[in-house]
Amino acid sequence: MVKQMLKEAVIQYVEQHVGNFHEKRIISLDKLKLKDVLKRKNPYLFKAKYILTAEQLVRSIVDAHLSSSEEGIFGDWLEGLAIFINNQVYGGYKSSCNGIDLEFDKEGTRYLVSIKSGPNWGNKSQVEKMITDFNDAKRTLSTSGAKITMVFVNGCCYGKDKNPHKFPKKGSDYFKFYGQHFWEFISGEPNLYLDLIEPIGTKAKEKNEEYLRAYSKMINLFTSEFSQDFCSDGIIDWEKLLKFNSAK
């Protein structure tokens, strides 16, 4: 597929699907409960930051929660985009192997790809789990009777790494492609990573205004709830908050 045809297909895909990301952001807001978030956050940290108002504390804990949530939501969306792009160019598809997001053939080699949003996506045990998934996929495909050369890739949608070939102490070796390298690997287009930025911003202003209305409403409701349950005479009752968070 020539570059212009791919670019047009990507723009059309993004325009049709980017709304899903924004809708899931709003759904995550609607599902959020103040006391659930308070139970998961560190009250000592917020005391150390010298937070004095209910609104300040509510906004801090909610923003920390939402930042993590949005990274996951958008990561899933980017995975779908990457699979779509690869399918357009190489006929790739969502793999049936556990932990493998994308599978495609190119020049006699079967590539099995685990797609992550960014380079710092996991701790040691999560990386080991990915390597286990790679090894399991290799065994599964090897026993199918097909004689194929397999290459495993951890693809990261942004970031940089000048040493893509990874050699873990245990298990299979694999490649880790970041940013431009990853998008070129799945599409054959060296500048695709740049071409994506504009269409991804499609309707962002309109959708973000809708999100901000829902966010502002939630902050106001949570601030009122927090003030009622964890403030005395207009002052945060840190002891009461700490007991709610940590008392046995």
- pLDDT score of 79 more than 60: yes
Domain 93-189 fold: type ii restriction endonuclease, domain 2 (3.40.1560)
- Give domain 1-91+203-248's CATH architecture: Orthogonal Bundle (1.10)
Domain ranges of the chain: 1-91+203-248, 93-189
Q: Residue 13 corresponds to which tokens in the numbers above?
A: 């895909």
What is the band of 169 on the pLDDT scale with cuts at 50, 70, 90?
low
Mean pLDDT confidence for 187-208:
86
Mean pLDDT confidence for 31-37:
91
Q: Do domains 1-91+203-248 and 93-189 have the same CATH topology?
A: no
DSSP-derived 3-state class of residue 107: coil
- In this predicted structure, what is the pLDDT of residue 199? 84
- In this predicted structure, what is the pLDDT of residue 170? 62
Mean pLDDT confidence for 81-89:
95
- pLDDT score of 80 more than 90: yes
Residue 212 has φ and ψ, to the nearest 5°, of -65, -35
C-alpha closest to that of 157 among 105, 133, 203, 192: 192
Tens digits of residue pLDDT in 114-141: 999 888 888 889 999 999 999 999 888 8
Average pLDDT, the chain: 89
- In this predicted structure, what is the pLDDT of residue 143? 79
